Amino acid sequence: MSRLIITDITTPEFAAGLKQSRTIFLPFGSTEEHGEHLPLDTDTMQVYASVKAAAAIYPTFVAPPVHYGICRSTSEHPGTVGLSPATFRALVRDLVKGYYKQGLRNFILISGHAGKTHIGALIEVGEEVLADFSDIRLAVINEYDFCCRAAGELVEVAGDSHAGEVETSRIAHLFPALVKGTSPREFPDFPEYILVRNKTAYWRGGVWGDPAFASKAKGEKLCQLTAQALADFVRRFEDFVER
Ligand SMILES: [Zn+2]
């Protein structure tokens, strides 16, 4: 295991780590419904496991995960607790600035929660801090998309995204005791273009995909492929020079 997992290291280990790497993963998750069968922390669990596994392949700092994000479509389901966009942006900004002050220069904001508003907020803050600091690199990664890209044809359900094939497989591999049975196949039917108040009327169960296609073996493969692809990304990112 990499010695750069911030929850686990001491002050002297942190200082020594800066001689090894100036790159940090800032993992973001959510506390939100994931069907009837997956834990509320699913997004955080996946992204945190991915970045720790990537950092074991290629030494990179890993910040403690943020367990809350901006949740819109799941906000009416039991158990979902989100942050307002303003609070979330302020939090992300403070974290990047805090790690900059500590000597980090390459920032990978990576989210296990794929909500559009949430990812948009990470990009917004990213643009702000790029303008503020001339000596940093910054990337924003939607970890679910990254995982699916790394997996290629391993993912069978078209349009799978939330508490379906991919997330159920990965949690079954990472935390098998936390998968409580399954949920039915479901795709929400939100109206096109129109925002709605009563979100559960358009998305009853809170699954977007089909957990029946999930398996522990698939989860293991998905986790391995994602970690390797992330480690490869970090190598490229550290060499990236802007035109
Ligand atoms: Zn999720």
Instruction: Report pLDDT digits (tens) over 140-193.
Output: 999 999 999 999 999 999 999 999 999 999 999 999 999 999 999 999 999 999
- Cα(64) to centroid(ligand 1), Å: 18
The H or E element spanning position 109 is strand 106-111
- Cα(186) to centroid(ligand 1), Å: 14
pLDDT at 239: 97
- Cα(213) to centroid(ligand 1), Å: 16
Phi/psi region, residue 159 (left: phi>0; alpha: psi -120 to 50; beta: rest), is left
CB-facing half-sphere around the CA of 40: CA atoms within 13 A = 14
Distance CA 217, CA 82 (A): 32
- Cα(196) to centroid(ligand 1), Å: 21
- Cα(212) to centroid(ligand 1), Å: 16
- Cα(80) to centroid(ligand 1), Å: 12
- Cα(165) to centroid(ligand 1), Å: 11
- Cα(93) to centroid(ligand 1), Å: 23
Q: What share of the chain is helix, strand, coil (3-state, %, to 5)?
A: 45, 15, 40
pLDDT digits (tens, 9 = 90+) for 25-82: 999 999 999 999 999 999 999 999 999 999 999 999 999 999 999 999 999 999 999 9
> Which pLDDT band, with edges at 50, 70 and 90, does 104 fall under?
very high
Average pLDDT, the chain: 97
Residues 33, 77 contacting (CB under 8 angstroms): yes
pLDDT at 2: 53
User: Would you kindly state where each structural domain of the chain is located, as residue ranges?
Assistant: 11-239
Tokens of 103: 């000597």
Distance CA 132, CA 115 (A): 26
- Cα(113) to centroid(ligand 1), Å: 5
- Cα(242) to centroid(ligand 1), Å: 33
CB-facing half-sphere around the CA of 87: CA atoms within 13 A = 8
* Count of all residues that appear for the chain in the document: 243
Q: If we measure between CA atoms, which residue out of 49, 204, 37, 39 comes closest to residue 112?
A: 49
Q: How many angstroms from the chain centroid is the CA of residue 31?
A: 12
The answer to whether the pTM exceeds 0.85 is yes
> Which pLDDT band, with edges at 50, 70 and 90, does 3 fall under?
confident
Average pLDDT on 126-132 reads: 98
- Cα(34) to centroid(ligand 1), Å: 6
- Cα(39) to centroid(ligand 1), Å: 10
Domain 11-239 of CATH type 3.40.50.10310: yes
- Cα(44) to centroid(ligand 1), Å: 8
pLDDT at 1: 47
